[in-house]
Amino acid sequence: MGENIQEQAFTREDFQRFSAALKEETALLKRWILQGGLSEEPLRVGYEVEAWLVDDAARPAPMNGPLLQTMNDAHAVPELAQFNLELNGPPEWLQGHPFTAMQRSLDVLWGRCSAVGEQLGVHPLMIGILPSAREEDFRLENMSRLPRYRALNEQVLELRNRIPLDVEIEGPDDAIRLQHGDVMLEAAATSLQLHLQVTAANAARYYNAAQVLSAATVAVAANSPFLFGHALWQETRIPLFEQAVAVDPVTGARGPGALKRVSFGSGYGRDGLYQLFVENRQHYPVLLPVCYDDAPEGLHHLRLHNGTIWRWNRPLVDFNEDGLCHLRLEHRVMAAGPTIVDMVANAVFFHGAVHALALREQPIEAALRFAAAERNFYRGARDGIDAELEWLGGGHVPLRALLLESLIPKARWGLEQLGLPADEFQPYLDIVEERVRVGRTGAAWQRAWVHRHGPDFAALVHAYRERQTAGRPVHEWSL
């Protein structure tokens, strides 16, 4: 959510004050978008990686407090559960060698995190859903000690009339149905989140390109096939997260046109993405009405509210070092792991392909209906690279063929158009291409390992961590 709030209980007046400030700041953002008040800098990229902490028995280790205190690094911060943390990279201009810099910064940060973890007897792990995690691990006692998480949990339950959250996920061969009394199941889903700074003029083109591309990126980075012993989607993190913080009330009304808190969105972007912030204000109840006395130009209320709405492609507003407001696109669909080089390869593929699709002469949204892009996304999450998608101009295509014959070459062309040298992106695109050719994503490797060795999920985590530490890309992993 981006704000270190302190309050955990709120009054009716808090909600009224917050709503009034949110309305004012949304109108201010509109003026900035229409009148050229936002940054016009070139494209800039960044990342966030969420990770697990596990003990020697491959079980979740609720130790992020001691680890982060020892690290004392602003780029490493807590996540919802004490057995999760988040690593943030510095922004890089999308020119020269941004991906080399991305890998270098993540190597250094991950190395430090791992070294401190070893001192404390825990091991950081990059994986979408930890196969050895059990539902009883996700109890409030394991929530990180930050008031904003307690407040978020309380407000979600309040909107649900205190009725537990239902999780129902059906895979091709297995299904899970359970109830959970709080939002802690969100902590079971960890991701690689890619950031792309855009301008008001090109924001909608990039946002819509990212929406269309999401079916491919969620599939090619799939790394979450198991949840509590059940083999579900290739990227089970997607339906799990959508249901883990569902605020839709089971009884009673919440107001007209309410939308899911975690979703693919309601449509393509337009107007510098301003309409998404209007949608935020009109269709999403305020969860954390923390009121600020600062001037509206800080957009504190708008940013806090936006941080409690988790579109899989999320618009962000933030401020540059010079204090000028900018727009960012946050691409949230990819799982964490399996290795650092795999994640950087995923970032290279995304940034190249999204740039190529954004530069199309015919806007991508004119070539594929939003409903089709949405269906594609969930097919990609469920079936991985073996999915079949509806594609531009109608008709269905196998995703593997689409990646090899169209999207990976488009990513290469997009990076060339950005002026990046071939040695900066080609080795990474080769990794993505080989992963698709051999059919071995992180999810596919996990399923294959269990097929060969049986459902010993602790042993699976040990084998996974050993290969992650070795650092070779997942398509080269042995069983």
pLDDT in tens, 76-124: 999 999 999 999 999 999 999 999 999 999 999 999 999 999 999 999 9
Residue 125 lies in a domain: yes
Q: Give how far Cα 350 sits from Cα of 52, 260, 321, 385, 410, Å.
A: 24, 25, 26, 15, 10
For residue 255, the model assigns a pLDDT of: 41
pLDDT at 344 over 70: yes
Phi, psi dihedrals of residue 170, rounded to the nearest 5°:
-115, 120
Residue 6 lies in a domain: no
Closest CA to 196 of 328, 332, 48, 38: 328
Residue 61 lies in a domain: yes
Mean of the pLDDT values across residues 300-323? 96
Distance CA 131, CA 154 (A): 28
Confidence at 173, pLDDT banded by 50, 70, 90: very high
* Percentage with pLDDT > 70 across the chain: 96
Q: Look up residue 304 and give its two tokens.
A: 């806090």
Residue 198 lies in a domain: yes
Residue 4 lies in a domain: no
Residue 2 lies in a domain: no
For residue 393, the model assigns a pLDDT of: 80
Confidence at 226, pLDDT banded by 50, 70, 90: very high
For residue 253, the model assigns a pLDDT of: 37
Residue 279 lies in a domain: yes
Distance CA 317, CA 305 (A): 11
Distance CA 304, CA 21 (A): 12
Residue 1 lies in a domain: no
Handedness of CA 132, 134, 138, 139 (dihedral sign): negative
Domain count, the chain: 1
* Percentage with pLDDT > 90 across the chain: 94
Residue 262 near residue 310, CB atoms below 8 Å: yes
- For residue 203, the Cα-to-chain-centroid distance in whole angstroms is 19
Pairing of the two strands 262-263 and 310-311: parallel
Average pLDDT, the chain: 95
For residue 192, the model assigns a pLDDT of: 98
400 membership: H or E segment, kind and range = helix 399-402
Distance CA 185, CA 179 (A): 10
The lowest-confidence range among 12-16, 33-37, 391-395 is: 391-395
Residue 163 near residue 250, CB atoms below 8 Å: yes
Mean of the pLDDT values across residues 254-279? 85
pLDDT at 251 over 50: no
Around Cβ 10, how many Cβ atoms within 10 Å?
A: 19
Q: Look up residue 96 and give its two tokens.
A: 């020269």
Residue 205: exposure state from Cβ atoms within 10 A (0-12, 13-18, ≥19): buried
For residue 377, the model assigns a pLDDT of: 98
Mean of the pLDDT values across residues 349-371? 97
Residue 394: exposure state from Cβ atoms within 10 A (0-12, 13-18, ≥19): exposed
pLDDT at 279 over 80: yes
What tens digit of pLDDT does each residue of 40-51 get? 999 999 999 999
What residue type is 338 in one-letter code?
Answer: P
Instruction: Please report, for the domain that includes residue 43, its CATH number.
Output: 3.30.590.20
Confidence at 289, pLDDT banded by 50, 70, 90: very high
What residue type is 259 in one-letter code?
Answer: L
Mean of the pLDDT values across residues 166-179? 96
Provide the residue range defining the domain that includes 129: 12-476
Contacts of 451 (CB under 8 A, 6+ apart): none
Mean of the pLDDT values across residues 408-416? 98
For residue 9, the model assigns a pLDDT of: 79
For residue 4, the model assigns a pLDDT of: 59
